[in-house]
Structure 1
Amino acid sequence: MNLDLLLDNLTNPALLFFLLGIIAVQLKSDLEIPPNSSKFISLYLLFSIGFKGGQELAHSHFNLEIIWSALFGILIAVVIPFYSFFILKRKFSFENAGAIAAAYGSVSAVTFVTAVSFLEIQKYTFSGHMVAIMALMEAPAIIVAVILMRLYNKKETNSTNLSSVIKHSLTNGSVLLILGSLIIGFLASDQQAMGIKPFTTDIFKGFLAIFLLDMGVVSGKKLDVFFKSGWFPVLFALIIPLLNGASIAYLSQLVTSNVGNRFMFSILAASASYIAVPAAMKIVAPKANPGLFLPMALAITFPFNITFGMPIYLSIILCC
């Protein structure tokens, strides 16, 4: 791995604000972002990345690469929760195994947004259709996890309709906003897009830094309870994302030669959902413990990816 790339990422202001949030909790500071402000910032980030992705897509030529990339993304979202479930089933109940598998098979929009900033710093670009692929990867992992949980649920039959799970995944606020923004960005003319560029682009990194500060505070509050669960969830939250990200960083060359697109594939494979999946699990797996899969995704995998994962995945891509 390129040491300069790692050091550059470690001094990224967005990452440092995340660490500041964790430190604030450890120091028992009253530092926090008001819930309404935090929600607004998360909505802004999704809107911005979706709109800019739509603009990129509008300037892209539809071709076989986009089709193969979409199929590749869906395949990733199916395979990861499938094999993860059987690893997790050794230590956890089928409800918890399914919820964690769904989280790691699905994607993190915030990690994706952070990856966009990382690519900009490294002077690489990615295609707008990657935003659509990110949205497509939300639902398959949840569906696979639900099917596996039903197969292993021998004591009772879950009455939740699979179609309602799919609908919930597609109408989840984060998925709907980023898809809607993608379509609006695709339809907007260059002149119209320039009219809101100060909002969609110029202030993006500042809002990202504040949002990661809030994520640091949230993660810091969950760490103590999480570590009481033993070392297995910690190791899983570190090793599995690294394995997924590194594997896809290499295999993605089968569908695209674009460095930015390959990097986005790897970060999508390595990330874990802590927005759409927890919401879906409340419906399909109410017995699953959110105090387990939320800290794994938010307090372990997310900081690992933005600290060490991104430089590792990019180094693999550049080497092959």
Structure 2
Amino acid sequence: MGQIVEIAYANLLSPMILFFLMGIVAVLVNSDLKVPTAFYTGYTMIILFTIGIKGGVELRNVSFLEMLPTIVAALILSVGMLFISYLIVAKIFRFSIIDSWAIAAHYGSVSAVTFIAGLAFLEKIGVFYEAYMSAILVVMEGPAIILAIIFYKMYAQKHGGDVSNPNSSLKHVIKEAFFGKSIFLLLGGIFIGFVAHADGLTKIKPLFGDLFYGLLCIFLLHMGMIATQSIKKIEKLKITSFMFAFILPVIGGTIGIFIGSVIGLSMGGAFILAILTGSASYIAAPAAVEQAIPKANSGIYLGSALGLTLSFNLVFGIPYFYWVATLFY
């Protein structure tokens, strides 16, 4: 127990988490602090491109066969978390079938922000991790979203629901899940990092490298504000109805560590796999679900994924996942 408290304490004092907490406080005290939309869009692009480029550079030294066990495990974990989330939300917390599939889509997918914070945590403490984990982030983003919407459509057709909205077509959903903003930027960055000449990458390093952590802190300040605003939207509902937002990360993260150790990942790699399995999407999933499952309550799935789970993972989940990883290695 002393070890996990020490890890949590170190995590809380990191600049990223302090910026995130500052964003929470800004909303709680009704500060007029705002991040301009154009600035938010700009630094989000830089952050995602930077992750992708770094991963692409490292992929040059990794064979596909070396990555294959992790890719297979990632797909299994993503689909597994989809069904675990659905069963817990629908059967234990008694949400409607429609809201349950919408929520499950988010928790079967992944959070790029939590992933970034996890990488920064490992680099801060000097722990090695497999550099191709950026590619695993991309692999885990879309499958659960697609499957959740397919199961919703089967349910809606069986019960005479309206699925005639052209934006809810499977083609449109696949486009949102696999080619939405975050995935497109990550894939683009990976491609650039993989094929670009080393001297060219050196020239763009001041923007896509040196500024990364400073921009990430501003990004997390903004995320703290948005997360708190999301929580306020669901404050009229009983907090006990949203305990799944804390339970699912613990379940997913613990399973992720176990699977990571079984397939031979390093401790850092298993920790990152836990970060991905225990997180919830709040970019790709909401965009797809809003179009494909319009009857789902956006306050519930966005408030839980962004307001509760993201906050929980950044403050408590990261040290918990790392502590569990130390028990397996």
TM-score between the two structures when normalised by the length of structure 2: 0.92
Q: Which deviates more from structure 2 when the two are superposed, residues 33-42 or residues 271-280?
A: 33-42
Q: Give the CA RMSD over aligned residues.
A: 1.5
Task: Structure 2 unaligned segments of length 5 or more: list them.
Answer: none
Q: Matched residues in 1 for 2:199 and 2:128: separation?
A: 21
Partner of 1:265: 273
Partner of 2:238: 230
Taking only the aligned residue pairs, the percentage that are identical comes to 38
Q: Does residue 1:197 correspond to 2:197, yes or no?
A: no
Contact 1:263 1:317 in 2 (8 A): yes
Partner of 2:52: 50
Partner of 2:160: 155
Q: Matched residues in 1 for 2:240 and 2:109: separation?
A: 20
Q: Matched residues in 2 for 1:232 and 1:115: separation?
A: 28
Q: Matched residues in 2 for 1:31 and 1:231: separation?
A: 27
Deviations along 1:187-211, one digit per CA (max 9) or x if unpaired, are: 1233222222222222111101101
Give aligned pairs, total: 319
Q: Matched residues in 2 for 1:223 and 1:258: separation?
A: 36
Partner of 1:101: 104
Q: Does residue 1:134 correspond to 2:142, yes or no?
A: no
Q: Matched residues in 1 for 2:136 and 2:241: separation?
A: 28
Q: Matched residues in 2 for 1:310 and 1:84: separation?
A: 20
Contact 2:149 2:289 in 1 (8 A): no
Q: Matched residues in 1 for 2:231 and 2:174: separation?
A: 31
Q: Matched residues in 2 for 1:199 and 1:215: separation?
A: 21
Deviations along 1:208-228, one digit per CA (max 9) or x if unpaired, are: 110111111112222222122
Task: Structure 1 unaligned segments of length 5 or more: list them.
Answer: none
Q: Matched residues in 1 for 2:211 and 2:242: separation?
A: 35
Q: Matched residues in 1 for 2:66 and 2:317: separation?
A: 26
The partner residue of 1:282 within 290, 302, 310 is 290
Deviations along 1:256-310, one digit per CA (max 9) or x if unpaired, are: 3312211110000011000000100122101111111111111111121111111
Partner of 1:82: 83
Contact 2:56 2:189 in 1 (8 A): yes
Q: Matched residues in 2 for 1:89 and 1:181: separation?
A: 38
Contact 1:65 1:255 in 2 (8 A): no
Deviations along 1:80-130, one digit per CA (max 9) or x if unpaired, are: 111211222242222211111000000111111111111111112322321
Contact 1:150 1:157 in 2 (8 A): no
Q: Structure 1 residue runs of 4+, over 4 Å off?
A: none
Partner of 2:327: 319
